[in-house]
A = this chain, B = another copy of it.
Amino acid sequence: MRTSWVKERESDPVKTQMYYAKQGVITEEMEYVAKVEDLSPELVRSEIARGRMIIPANVNHTSLEPMAIGLAARCKINANIGSSAIASDVQGEVEKMQVSQHYKADTAMDLSTGGDLDEIRKAVIESSKIPIGTVPIYQILHDVGNKIEDLSIEVMLEVLERQAKQGVSYFTIHAGFLLETMPKIAKRKMGIVSRGGSLMAAWMMHYHRENPFYTAFDDILDICAKYDVSLSLGDSLRPGCLADASDDAQLGELKVLGELTLRAWEKNVQVMIEGPGHVPLNQIERNMKLQRELCHEAPFYILGPLVTDIAAGYDHISSAIGAAVGGWHGASMLCYVTPKEHLGLPNANDVREGIIAYKIAAHAADIARGRKGARDIDDEMSDARYSFNWEKQFELALDSERAREYHDETLPQDVFKEAEFCSMCGPKFCSYKITQNIMDNPEAIEQIAREAKEERLWELKKMN
């Protein structure tokens, strides 16, 4: 779709969506997004120019269908995929990518740390119509033979450029975590739980030098600007348990991310900010507000947050609760968590479970925000339910296959697709059916109700 759009811009000095937006230009990507989101193209342009919305769309990912992340847009979800040294390969990751798109993840991150990383990433991007994000430090470390002390700024920039060329649409960069924060981490229950963050810490302590992503931030911005890679400013110090939530380490880093946001915007690089993590339910709204304040309203991209630490095996649920509340209070994208969190690498089925939990959270957030038309599909579903249109119900469900499978578990025969009941209550106890039978004559109902009310008021009067 984007091949011709990108080609026409070949001779432009800067090619980021933010650059065009600031020039007053509405790109084809903005037009497309405006249509999908039911917004005016001018609103999309002005939100991008202001930094409140991003369209992560690497110029080299031409098969991409543009999508937007920002408070004016629908709340989005990201699916993390990727191999580890212990599990998965190219085929496994392409399968996860297919599952991600089938269940409608809005973006996916390839977080591979094992196998041929370039090959996996190439296959993932080629099979994807949604933006692909990465955490480049994984490959940087991989390329220096897993010896963090061999990491240099040159290697770092080379890997970034290589991934940008491949068509990665956003980079998680752990640039906000500085040496001065280190003592705050020592006070924590769980230290650093971000993989990238812990690797940076190891490098910084080995060399006694400042975070190289921070030091080389301007060079990184130049690469991002060249390919229109959006920055996802990583929260190296996100809390890894409720006890560490909203602490000095987390909030100190958030402030630095705010500084970096302004520097990126100056170079026309699109930015979103990553957020926690593990946060008690009652602290989520405050976290969302703080981010907007400290990061100048750049879109917030949160991981969960999990609202309890004891749900291992069900952390997609524990975190979907936090994600829904976070989305309601202003997060623009929700990074899913799968049932395998804290226990192992997710497989394709875990990806499905994680995505649906987060589709629920994001949709609930859109409804709670009062987003125009958000509830329409719910209303359609309710109509389908009340009219016993089972096929329509399956079609409208977030996971049609699952809905059908569960229904058919007890009533598999075709005839029950016309039935005015299900196995929950059986034919005699269906409340919809009973209600419909008695609602046939609205005028009679009005009459009876009026008389009954008068009588009751009379009785109450006598009693007092």
Contacts and interface: CB of A to CB of B under 8 A. Distances in A.
Contacts of A393: 312, 342
The secondary-structure label for the interface of chain A is helix
Contact of A378 (B242, B368, B375): B242
Contacts of A397: 310-313
B410 A314 contact: no
A153 interface: no
B241 A382 contact: yes
A242 B380 CA distance: 11
A343 B456 CA distance: 39
A449 B386 contact: no
Nearest to A138: B429
Interface in A256-273: none
A307 B282 contact: no
Given A344-B422, A428-B85, A456 B210 contact: yes
A381 interface: yes
Nearest to A422: B344
Nearest to A444: B205
A52 interface: no
A113 B193 contact: no
A318 B399 CA distance: 13
Contacts of A182: 445, 448-449
Contacts of A439: 185-186, 191
A377 interface: yes
A99 interface: no
A242 B435 contact: no
Q: List the number of copies, as a whole number.
A: 2
Among A183, A339, A356, which residue has the most Cβ atoms of chain B within 10 A?
Answer: A183
Contact of A309 (B282, B382, B426): B382
Contacts of A364: 280-281, 307-308, 318, 321
Interface residues of A, number: 124
B432 A343 contact: no
Contacts of A348: none
A367 B278 CA distance: 12
Given A146-B428, A320-B317, A310 B363 contact: yes
Interface in A360-391: 360-361, 363-365, 367-370, 375, 377-379, 381-383, 385-386
Contact of A406 (B344, B399, B429): B344
A194 interface: yes
A375 B278 CA distance: 12
Given A182-B449, A192-B434, A242-B379, 9 more contacts: A179-B449, A185-B435, A186-B442, A189-B379, A312-B403, A313-B406, A314-B398, A314-B399, A345-B410
Interface of A: 84-87, 113-114, 138, 146, 178-183, 185-186, 189-195, 197-199, 201-202, 205, 208, 210, 240-243, 280-282, 307-314, 316-318, 320-321, 324-325, 328, 339-345, 347, 356-357, 360-361, 363-365, 367-370, 375, 377-379, 381-383, 385-386, 393-394, 396-399, 402-403, 405-407, 409-411, 422-432, 434-439, 442, 445-446, 448-453, 455-456
